[in-house]
Amino acid sequence: MVVAKSKCRVDMEAQEPALRDRPDDYFTYGVGRFWKILPTRPYMNSRLDYRAALTFVQNVESVQAQLDTLMENLRLCRGDNIGSRDLECYDFLKWWATSANNPKYNWGDATLPYLDIKNAYPLEPVEPFLHGGEGLSHIVPLTTLKIKLYFLLLATHGAHAYEEATENTRKVMDGMMELRDLTMARNPHAANLTSLEAQPEIQKLKTQIRKLYHAVNKANPYFWPEAINPDETLNATMMWTWQACHETFGALHIVYAAVNDPKDEFTF
């Protein structure tokens, strides 16, 4: 896979000079609308190939390189015609569920605000995300994000819930204690909750996770079973969203319980 990554990077970098050397330098005059400029499409596809190859390298440097590649894709192509939006980031998802769904938003105007939502309220209802026409590449990361937040609140404020939790759930909660310094944990809406305020939010998150689980199941009934028992036939979207699920503490615990429950419910 390291060879594949290197080959993809060489291919990507080899195409860039030809685009820059044109009189109408696309990197100067075409930023934000690359996909509408036909000669740039092979280059943009090569960027996706490079990012896909990086997913097989499991280290921090690879994750950072993937993030940098995807964010540059979005800078070059604001409308994201190539599907780069698989980042597990609530502000990012919120922007695409709101601003990006505004029919008056002019994707060709690079002066308009772009990905400018900061410190959005991660405990809010999930309905706006379900009615915007977003696919699995958004709903699955949102599900894993809500699961992560659920266990973070449990680990921080759920002493009573911890006492009543199953052994497996306790292990997940213990693991989440190590993640309290993550960006999501530092979100002021979550970080500033008192234990009294956190209790109803924990219950709301359980309801939200159920809704998201069923939304994914409705969109693709094969996704969750594949998430807990993957094979080698995963396509690109499934592979990237599958990784988000596998890398989130507690996600597989909850999904496994739902998939194997005859009523398709959860054991929290």
The answer on pLDDT for 236 being more than 60 is: no
Same domain, 168 and 248: yes
Count of C-beta atoms within a 10 Å radius of residue 29: 11
Task: Express each pLDDT in 167-211 by its tens digit.
Answer: 766 666 666 555 554 555 566 777 778 878 888 998 899 899 999
d(CA 42, CA 59): 28
The fraction of the chain above a pLDDT of 90, given in percent, is: 6
**89-103, 114-128, 180-194: the lowest-pLDDT one:** 180-194
Count of C-beta atoms within a 10 Å radius of residue 164: 9
Q: What pLDDT, on the 0 to 100 scale, is given for residue 208?
A: 94
Listed in sequence order, the residues at least 6 apart from 117 whose beta carbon sits closer than 8 Å to its beta carbon are 91, 94, 95, 98, 99
Same domain, 73 and 146: no
The answer on pLDDT for 249 being more than 70 is: no
Mean pLDDT along residues 79-103: 72
Same domain, 55 and 169: no
Residue 2, both tokens: 């390291």
Q: Examine the fold and report which residue of 84, 111, 134 is the final residue of a domain before the chain moves on.
A: 84
Instruction: Give the chain's end-to-end CA distance (angstroms, integer).
Output: 38
Dihedral over alpha carbons 203, 207, 209, 213 (to 10 degrees): 160
Do the Cβ atoms of 97 and 134 come closer than 8 Å? yes
Same domain, 134 and 213: yes
The amino acid sitting at 125 is: P
Q: Examine the fold and report which residue of 18, 50, 84 is the final residue of a domain before the chain moves on.
A: 84
| Residue of 31 and 239 predicted with greater confidence | 31
Same domain, 136 and 254: yes
The fraction of the chain above a pLDDT of 70, given in percent, is: 72
Domain containing residue 20: 1-84
* Alpha helices (H) in the chain, listed in sequence order: 2-20, 26-29, 41-54, 60-76, 90-97, 127-130, 136-157, 159-164, 167-177, 183-186, 188-191, 195-219, 223-228, 236-246, 251-259
Q: What pLDDT, on the 0 to 100 scale, is given for residue 88?
A: 43
**Per-residue pLDDT band at 224 (split at 50, 70, 90):** confident
Q: What pLDDT, on the 0 to 100 scale, is given for residue 134?
A: 66
100 within domain boundaries: no
Q: What pLDDT, on the 0 to 100 scale, is given for residue 181?
A: 46
**Per-residue pLDDT band at 262 (split at 50, 70, 90):** low
Same domain, 130 and 80: no
Mean pLDDT along residues 18-29: 86
The mean pLDDT value of the chain amounts to: 77
Do the Cβ atoms of 190 and 184 come closer than 8 Å? yes
Give the HSE-up count for residue 199: Cα atoms under 13 Å, Cβ half-sphere: 6
Residue 37, both tokens: 């400029």
**Helices 251-259 & 167-177 angle (0-180, nearest 10):** 150
CA angle 240, 265, 226 (to 5 degrees): 30
The model scores a pTM over 0.85: no
